[in-house]
C-alpha cells in the first residue's frame, strides 16, 4: 500500500522532453483557469478606464 502512495507523489506536474513541455491534465486546467481570471480582471480594469 505504501508503494502506491509513493508513486503518486513522484509524478511531476510538468516535464520537458525533446523540446516539448508536457503538463498533467490538472496542471493544464489550473493554468488556464488562472489565466482566464487574470484576463477577466484585466478586461474589467480596462473597461473602467484604470489602464
pLDDT, tens digit, 9 for 90 and up, residues 6-37? 555 567 887 888 998 888 999 999 999 999 99
Distance of alpha carbon 26 from alpha carbon 40, whole angstroms: 21
33: left (phi over 0), alpha (psi -120 to 50) or beta: alpha
Provide the whole-model pTM.
Answer: 0.62
pLDDT at 41: 96
Task: Please report the pLDDT score of residue 35 as a whole number.
Answer: 97
Residue located via cell numbers 483557469: 33
Residues 6+ apart with CB under 8 A from 22: 14, 15, 16
Q: Give the per-residue pLDDT at 26.
A: 92
Examine the pLDDT at 39 and tell me if it is beyond 90. yes
* Phi, psi angle pair for 41, to nearest 5°: -65, -45
Categorize the per-residue pLDDT at 43 as very low, low, confident or very high, splitting at 50, 70 and 90. Answer: very high
Amino acid at each position: 500500500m505504501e508503494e502506491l502512495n509513493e508513486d503518486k507523489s513522484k509524478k511531476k506536474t510538468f516535464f520537458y522532453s525533446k523540446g516539448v513541455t508536457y503538463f498533467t491534465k490538472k496542471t493544464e486546467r489550473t493554468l488556464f483557469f488562472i489565466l482566464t481570471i487574470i484576463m477577466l480582471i484585466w478586461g474589467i480594469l480596462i473597461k473602467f478606464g484604470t489602464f
